[in-house]
Structure 1
Amino acid sequence: MKLTDLRGILQYIPRFRDKIFVISLDGAVVAGENFSNLLLDIALLRSLNIRPVLVHGAAHQIESCSKQTRHSPSNTDGTGITDESTLQVAIQASTMVTHQILEKLSISDLRGASTNAIVAHPKGIIQGVDQQHTGKIERVDERLLELLIGRDIIPVISPLGFDGEGKTFRVNSDAVALAVAKSLKAAKLIYITTQDGLVFNGQLIRQMAVNELDERLSSEESLFSPQSLSKAQHAAEACRWHVPRAHIINGCVAEGLLAEVFSNE
């Protein structure tokens, strides 16, 4: 990082001090080569008194675990049917990803905690098909998260939800990040994936107003790349719920997170 870059960052420090950033990491990002650098960037944000809350996916790890066990998962991203064996793989994969994140936080002398802050219930029967162990987010235990944040502990939230009877459900990490951002009134919701941001009709979109995004999602949904669609939908909803900014960035690019956060573009 150049001295001129540091000067550029300094102007944002008063604006973001004590603000909550919900940062959602795709499982493939955690498995990528740039993951260690990404966690160092998050450590830098924390050193500037920004309060990160980490949400992670596990689709990549579910696929890897399933190949090792020769099990075909009923669903990997938490949007379709989750049968019993897929749920067990999802729990195993999510636990592994959470552990990796906590390890990397420890390198930067940051404290993190895995939580059961996502309260969920069964998604139920949709068009005559039982979704089994797929869950729908009921609420976020914001009091728990605020308690951790207030003690300088970074919450790490997996794509799993829990009900009052002790049952576990697979939930979609994009939806989890949105629910957490809304609940905590986050200043930013940041989706970190393995592609270059929001791709529409084969073109990378650097910035888009939420009303324009809503219009395109309504009339031209098929033109969004498959990797962009879910995040675009959840980012638009976040902005409608008064999250000031939502970002979709490439976590494979060095300093991509810092460049996005500390930029006027």
Structure 2
Amino acid sequence: MNLFGFVECANKTQSLKALFDLLVSSASEEGFTEIVYGALTFAEPLRLAGCPPPLVAMKVPPDWCQRYLERKYYTIDPVVRRTPMFAGPFLWDELAKEYRLQACEQRVLQEAREAGLKNGVGVPLFGPPGRISVVSFASRFDDADPRTNVRRLKALAWHFHIAFEEIAKPSDCTSDGKVSLSEREKDCLRWVAEGKSSWEIGKILSVSENTVNFHVKNAIRKLGTANRTSGLVKAIRLGLIEFTEPALATPMVA
């Protein structure tokens, strides 16, 4: 399933299980069959059965799942602990290079590899107010390449995350979900989707860089998101700008 198909299906589901199954199916096509989604800095009321906080949904080998939960590895897992320190996707194998991991953290990574979770990549997800979540992808295969697939995995994670937030929204929420963006705000977001910087967008639209930043910040505020990436994904989900797969395949500036 391509990204366009994933977005179309994600927009139609109102079930966390169905949405997570969709994410697993899409990531598996790239060889990343093992996935964990966690809410790190807040209590998420909606989660799959058997997932204690901060876990929300997980698909890993059963034996590893049992050990991870019984030993409460989520309290010492370096992927969970270190996610807030990253602004973008990171490789599990690079955690030891970036930080002096504790022995217990190293043990979790080693046991995860032995259980079949290899070539892992974490995608930090930021939302207001100060909310941090993460989607972790791993593969059973030695030759899976997270570097080659990181852009697609990042896009899948953000689309999943935004769709999940809509499903998890309290039923008594007074907001009707309607957002109105100006044409200039939409233009700026479309070029953000193409990976353009504010300076480049300004040149394209014949406005100043400060003007571009003004419109992008306004759009982010209206959408209730924390940064350009999450704002862009939500604008696409709400149908405020068109989704084109080539655009989402390029890097998105956070």
TM-score, normalised by the number of residues in structure 1 = 0.36
Q: Which has the higher strand share?
A: 1
TM-score, normalised by the number of residues in structure 2 = 0.38
Q: Which has the higher helix share?
A: 2
